[in-house]
């Protein structure tokens, strides 16, 4: 296997398909990306250049600090006057850092972005003033460089709302933006030459794409029919050797594993609780009973004290509804509840049902605070939370069962229609 | 005070509200499925579809129109954090 490629030793463009060049930059010393990602051997900011008979297209740029390297590689191959199009697959600053300067140097170039990117573009360029023009594009829009055609794929939320992919039809190169990317820095550039980057690939997916699995599946419907010879993402190795397997891997990673365990028609309710004197635990058990009485709902009960955040996040990701039980201590819910509720940025919670309950001694603020947090996480709270002062009576335990039943009924759409209510009667 | 009825179709619930109430003020309290992001008409997260009574909501502002366009809103879609209820209407999450 050839190891001749070493992009750290020069500042030239690297051709990897006919008239298609890598003009990016390596960032080998980065150890944390965007606060949330560890980058054990750094990252790369991949930018690409496509030459056509009628001009040149630049696809994405680099983080601002790496502009010099980007411009050097660009200048090694073309003159700024030749640049006809600048395509931005999404506008995150690590790919648009060099954009204002590129637009200044190539004033004739037209900017192509997705519809959703317009407000972000204005926010990004505001320090340099107005007066820029752009064209919005979507799936199946094309731009021609004469003998080269770049086709766009609207792939929103992978991982920003404005994300798109660009496909070079004649060469079968998919410029995929952050999709199929990873934070892995290697001067050998190509997947068949670099080190073992499987962990980095999966880790990147788990932190960047995982919250958007449904959108990944939608995007794959556009990507899978393409004849792909190479995938050129914005971070990590260019996938030139058997690129199709990365597409297949994305589908595997985005497929529900719970659906293999329970019926398709069945829904999952997970109840988490912490209890200091056993009262909130007692509530949790009765809520569990009440919910279990409703067919079509698989209920799971977990004491937060006995588990770890990672596996609980996995459970939450596939659950249809979540209940959290917490006592109130010093006017707050307890820390393990907040620890879990602050670890959910990697999964999609939008529209899941939520609810809270807890026993309390004096004031019982925890329940409302948990509900507010769940609303903030874009969950729907169909049932007002259940608070019980200290030890639940038999009557209060019945309320717990009714609470569990109501949540489960809400999940399966069996809840009885209510009469018209007045806003003044809402809590 | 003038009253109006808003129906949240996803949870089949109708609420009597004082005219002028923003949809956001009532939909969260009732546990309807419309979800919110910035809550100030900028992000487009709370886009909802108005099934009935389109004319019984306040007119969208220029800024709301812009955000709706950017988020590829369909006909009779509105932002729940911006629209105020003036008369009977029926809405659901997009």
| B16, B32, B72: residue with CB nearest A423 | B16
- Crossing angle between the packed helical segments A394-412 and A279-292, to the nearest 10 degrees: 40
State the smallest CA–CA distance between residue B42 and chain A in angstroms: 10
Cβ separation B93–A351 shorter than 8 A: yes
Cβ separation B35–A378 shorter than 8 A: yes
DSSP collapsed to 3 states, chain A: CCCCCCHHHCCCCEEEECCEEECCEEECCCCEECCCEECCCCEEECCEEEEECCEEEEECCCCHHHHHHHHHHHHCCCCHHHEEEEECCCCCHHHHCCHHHHHHHCCCCEEEEEHHHHHHHHHHHHHHCCCCCCEEECCCCEEECCCCEEEEEECCCCCCCCCEEEEECCCCEEEEECCCCCCCCCCCCECCCCCCCHHHHHHHHHHHHHHHHHHHHHHHHHHCCCCCCEEEECCCCEECCCCHHHHHHHHHHCCCCHHHCCCCCCEEEEEEECCCCCHHHHHHHHHHHHHHCCCCEEEEEEEHHHCCHHHHHHHHHHCCEEEEECCCECCECCHHHHHHHCCCCCCCCCCCEEEEEEEECCCCCHHHHHHHHHHHCCCECCCCCEEEECCCCHHHHHHHHHHHHHHHHHHHCCCCCCCCEEHHHCC
User: Is the omega angle on the peptide bond into residue A344 within 30 degrees of 0, that is, cis?
Assistant: no
Cβ separation A420–B35 shorter than 8 A: no
Question: Is the ipTM value over 0.90, yes or no?
Answer: no
For residue A423, the tally of other CB atoms under 10 A from its CB is 17
| Domain range list for chain B | 3-93
State the smallest CA–CA distance between residue A391 and chain B in angstroms: 28
Q: What is the mean pLDDT of residues B38-45?
A: 91
pLDDT at A211: 92
Strand partners, B17: B4
A416 touching chain B per CB within 8 A: no
Interface test with A, best of B12, B70, B93 (most A CBs within 10 A): B70
pLDDT at A1: 44
Cβ separation A423–B17 shorter than 8 A: yes
Tokens of A57: 């297209």
Interface test with A, best of B26, B35, B62 (most A CBs within 10 A): B35
Task: Enumerate residues 339 to 368 of chain A having a beta carbon within 8 A of any beta carbon in chain B.
Answer: 350-351
Cβ separation B36–A382 shorter than 8 A: no
> Do the bridges between strand A149-154 and strand A55-59 make them parallel or antiparallel, or are there none, so unpaired?
unpaired
Q: How many CB pairs under 8 A join A and B?
A: 56
Minimum Cα–Cα distance from A161: chain B residue: B71
Tokens of A217: 């599946």
pLDDT at A130: 59
A380 touching chain B per CB within 8 A: yes
pLDDT at A109: 95
Whether the Cβ atoms of residue A20 and residue A48 lie closer than 8 Å to each other: yes
A35 touching chain B per CB within 8 A: no
Cβ separation B33–A380 shorter than 8 A: yes
Tokens of A126: 């505001």
Q: Which residue stretches of chain A have pLDDT < 70? A: 1-3, 127-131, 416-418, 427
Cβ separation B30–A426 shorter than 8 A: yes
Q: Hey, is B3 helix, strand or coil?
A: strand
| A350, A381, A420: residue with CB nearest B14 | A420
| A118, A383, A427: residue with CB nearest B29 | A427
- Give whole-number Cα distances, A114 to A145, A156, A166, in Å: 19, 9, 11
Q: Hey, is B53 helix, strand or coil?
A: coil
Which residue has 């490629």 as its token pair? A5
Interface test with B, best of A164, A321, A380, A418 (most B CBs within 10 A): A380
> B5: which chain A residues are within 8 Å (Cβ-Cβ)?
420
pLDDT at A3: 55
| A119, A350, A382: residue with CB nearest B31 | A382
Pick left, alpha or beta for residue A61 (phi over 0 → left; psi -120 to 50 → alpha; otherwise beta).
beta
Whether the Cβ atoms of residue A324 and residue A356 lie closer than 8 Å to each other: yes
Cβ separation B26–A115 shorter than 8 A: no
pLDDT at B52: 96
> A383: which chain B residues are within 8 Å (Cβ-Cβ)?
31
Overall fold of domain B3-93? Ubiquitin-like (UB roll) (3.10.20)
Cβ separation B70–A378 shorter than 8 A: no
């Amino acid at each position: 296997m050839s190891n001749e490629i070493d992009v750290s030793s020069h500042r030239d463009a690297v051709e990897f398909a006919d008239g298609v060049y890598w003009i990016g930059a390596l960032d080998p010393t980065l150890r944390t990306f965007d606060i949330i990602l560890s980058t054990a051997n750094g990252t790369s900011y991949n930018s690409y250049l496509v030459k056509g008979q009628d001009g040149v297209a630049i696809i994405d740029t680099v983080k601002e600090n790496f502009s010099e390297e980007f411009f050097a590689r660009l200048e090694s191959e073309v003159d700024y006057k030749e640049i006809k199009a600048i395509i931005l697959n999404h506008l995150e600053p690590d790919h648009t850092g060099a954009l204002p300067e590129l637009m200044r140097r190539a004033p004739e170039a037209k900017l192509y972005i997705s519809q959703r990117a317009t407000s972000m573009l204005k926010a990004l360029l505001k320090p340099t003033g107005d007066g820029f023009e752009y064209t919005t594009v979507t799936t199946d829009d094309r731009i021609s460089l004469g003998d080269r055609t770049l086709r766009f794929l609207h792939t929103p939320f992978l991982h920003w709302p404005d994300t798109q992919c660009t496909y070079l039809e004649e060469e079968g190169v998919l410029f995929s933006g952050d999709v199929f990317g990873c934070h892995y820095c290697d001067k050998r550039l190509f997947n068949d030459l670099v080190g073992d980057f499987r962990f980095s690939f999966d880790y990147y997916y788990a932190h960047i794409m995982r919250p958007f699995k449904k959108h990944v599946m939608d995007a794959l419907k556009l990507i899978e029919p393409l004849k792909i010879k190479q995938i050129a993402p914005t971070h990590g190795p260019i996938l030139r050797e058997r690129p199709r397997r990365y597409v297949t891997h994305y589908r595997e990673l985005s497929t529900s594993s719970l659906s293999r365990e329970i019926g398709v028609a069945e829904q999952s309710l997970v109840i988490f609780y912490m209890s200091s004197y056993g009262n909130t635990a007692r509530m949790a058990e009765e809520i569990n009973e009440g919910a279990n009485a409703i067919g079509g709902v698989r209920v799971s009960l977990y004491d937060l004290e006995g588990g770890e955040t990672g596996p609980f996040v996995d459970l939450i990701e596939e659950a249809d509804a979540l209940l959290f039980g917490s006592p109130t201590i010093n006017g707050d819910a307890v820390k393990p509840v907040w620890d879990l509720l602050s670890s959910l940025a990697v999964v999609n919670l939008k529209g899941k049902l939520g609810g809270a309950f807890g026993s309390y001694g004096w004031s019982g603020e925890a329940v409302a605070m948990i509900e507010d947090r769940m609303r903030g996480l874009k969950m729907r709270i169909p049932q007002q939370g259940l608070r019980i002062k200290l030890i639940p009576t038999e009557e209060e335990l019945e309320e717990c069962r009714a609470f569990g039943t109501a949540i489960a009924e809400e999940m399966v759409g069996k809840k009885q229609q209510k009469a018209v209510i007045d806003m003044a009667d809402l809590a | 005070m003038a009253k109006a009825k808003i129906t949240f179709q996803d949870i089949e619930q109708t609420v009597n509200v004082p005219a002028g109430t923003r949809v956001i003020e009532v939909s969260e309290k009732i546990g309807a499925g419309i979800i919110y992001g910035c809550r100030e008409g900028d992000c487009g997260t709370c886009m909802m579809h108005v099934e009935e009574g389109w004319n019984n909501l306040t007119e969208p502002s220029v800024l709301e129109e812009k955000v709706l366009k950017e988020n590829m809103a369909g006909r009779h879609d509105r932002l729940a954090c911006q629209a105020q209820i003036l008369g009977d209407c029926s809405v659901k999450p997009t």
